[in-house]
Structure 1
Amino acid sequence: YITMTLNIAKSIVKLGNGILKQTALPWTKEELRDTTRLEKLLDTMVREMRSSSGCGIAAPQIGISKQLFLFELDARESDLKCPNFPLTAFFNPRIEIVDEDFVIPRPLAGSSKNLLNLTRFKRSVHSATNHLPRVATANNTISLWESCLSVPNFYGRVTRSRRCIISFTDIAGQSRAIEADGIIAACLQHENDHLHGRVYIERLKNGLNDLVHIDEMSEEMLTDVQRLTGDFQITK
C-alpha cells in the first residue's frame, strides 16, 4: 500500500454543498457571445483543475451552476491505452449513451476516419437517472475506479456506458460532436453528471460505504485503470 494524498484547491466546491445537487442552467446565445467573460471563467477552471491534479472539472465545482465542463487527458503521462484528449470546453453538452451490445473488432488508434461510427446504433439520452444501457453487459459497459475533486482523496468503482456521443457548443460558439469509447467515454459521463446534480458516489451501489480512501488503495487497485482502453473520434 502507498500514500498519495492529494492537495485539492480550497476553492473547489466539496461534497455537501447544495450546488452539487442542482441541475445546471444552459448558456444562452447572448452569454456565449461574451468571450471576455468566458475566457476568464475558463482560465479559472483550468487553473483550479490543474493545480488539483485533475483531468476534468465542471462549472458547479467552482460554484457556477451552468452547463459547462472542461476535460483533457495526457494518456502518455498516465500510461493509459488511449489517445491524448486535448483541453476542450463543453458548453451545453448533450450525451447519448449507446444501448447496443457489440465489440469493436480492432485495436483502437484514435486516427481512423469513422473510427467508431456510433450513430448507426440505438442510443438514449444520458440523464441523472438514465446513464446505462437498458441491458448492461461486459460489451456495452465499463467499470473503473473514479475520483472527484469534490470528494478529495476517495475512490469508488463505478459502472458506466462504454460508448457515447456527446454534442456540445465550443468556445467559438460552434456546434460540435465527439464519439467516445471506453475510459474516455466514462470520463465525459462523469463530468456531465455534475451538470445533472450528481456526483459519482450516487452511482455506487452502497453509496458512501463503497468509497475507498486513497491511502487504502492497493497497488493493483491504483493501476487497474491502466488496463482499460479508450478512444474518440471528432465527427463534427
Structure 2
Amino acid sequence: MPSEVAVEKKKLQNPPLELHYLGDRVLRQGAKRVTKIDEEIRKLAREMLQTMYSQDGIGLAAPQVGINKQVIVIDLEPDNPANSPLVLINPTIKQVSRDMCVAQEGCLSIPGVYMDVKRPEVVEISYKDEYGRPKTLKASDLLGRCIQHEIDHLNGVVFVDRVENSLALAQELSKHGFSYQAVKSVV
C-alpha cells in the first residue's frame, strides 16, 4: 500500500508550517500521544514533510513546528523520489545497545550548528504508521541516530543538551546567534 503521506520532494517558497528555534518554549514541552490516527494526522505528516524538504532536513518532529503531538517524519534520502519517508506516530524506545557512538548532529531548530553527540549505536522502537498499524523497527547508523534525535524532541530535549563539550558548544551557539542559556544539559 503506497504511503498516503508521500509528497513531492521539493523546496517550497512558503512551506506550510513554521519552524521554531532554540530558545522557544514550545521545544521544551513534552509532546502528547496521538489518540486517533486519521486524515488530520496524515495531513500534518504531509505538511511536516513539505516543511522538512524545504529546509533541507532529514528528520522533523511535530514540536519543532509548534504542534504538541508525538509525530515524527524522517527521510534519509530527500533527493531520491523512489525512497518513501518514514512516519512515526507515538514512537517508544524499547531497547538501546550498550555500544555507543559519537557523530556530528545538526537540527532544523538550530540552523548552522553542528556538534558531536554520543548516542547508543542501535535503537529498537515501536510506533504506529500513518494508517495506525503497530510496527517495530531496529535501526543503527544514521537512521538510528535520527530516530533518537527526533524522539528527544518529543520529550523536550534538543541535541545540544547532549553535547559534552560545553565550551565549544557555547562558542558555536554564539557564532550562530543562539544563547547558551537555552541549553538544558542532560549529559
Partner of 2:135, secondary structure, is: strand
Assess, with a 3 A threshold, how the Cα gap between structure 1 residues 58 and 74 changes in structure 2: closer, same or farther.
same
Residue 158 of structure 2 is aligned with which of 186, 199, 204?
199
**What is the SS of the residue equivalent to 1:73?**
coil
In structure 1, what is the equivalent of residue 181 of structure 2?
A: none
Instruction: Tell me: higher relative CO, structure 1 or 2? Use CA pairs within 8 A at least 6 residues apart.
Output: 1
Does residue 156 in structure 1 map to residue 163 in structure 2?
no
Task: Name the TM-score, length of structure 2 as normaliser.
Answer: 0.76
What residue is the counterpart of 1:220 in the other structure?
none
Tell me the C-alpha RMSD between the 2 structures: 2.8
Number of aligned residue pairs: 160
Alpha-carbon distance in structure 2 between the residues aligned to 1:185 and 1:69: 13
1:60 is the counterpart of 2:63: yes
Give the match for residue 94 of structure 1: 92
Preserved contact between residue 97 and residue 161 of structure 1 (Cα < 8 Å): no
Deviations 1:26-81 (A, max 9, x none): 011xx21x32x123212210111000000000000111011110001129x69xxx
Distance 1:98 1:203 in 2: 16
Any stretches of 5+ residues in structure 1 without a counterpart?
A: 1-8, 79-83, 101-139, 217-236
Higher strand residue share:
1
1:19 aligned onto 2:26: yes
- Match in the other structure for 1:171: 130
Give the whole-Å Cα distance in 1 for the aligned partners of 2:96 and 2:47: 33
Q: Deviations over 1:121-147 (max 9, x none)?
A: xxxxxxxxxxxxxxxxxxx11111100
Identity percentage of aligned residues: 33
Give 1:207 deviation, angstroms: 4.2
Query: Deviations 1:81-120 (Å, cap 9, x if unpaired)?
Result: xxx97301100000134344xxxxxxxxxxxxxxxxxxxx
* 2:92–2:125 contact (8 Å) kept in structure 1: yes
Deviation at residue 181 of structure 1 after TM alignment: 1.4
Instruction: Find the structure with the greater CA-based Rg.
Output: 1
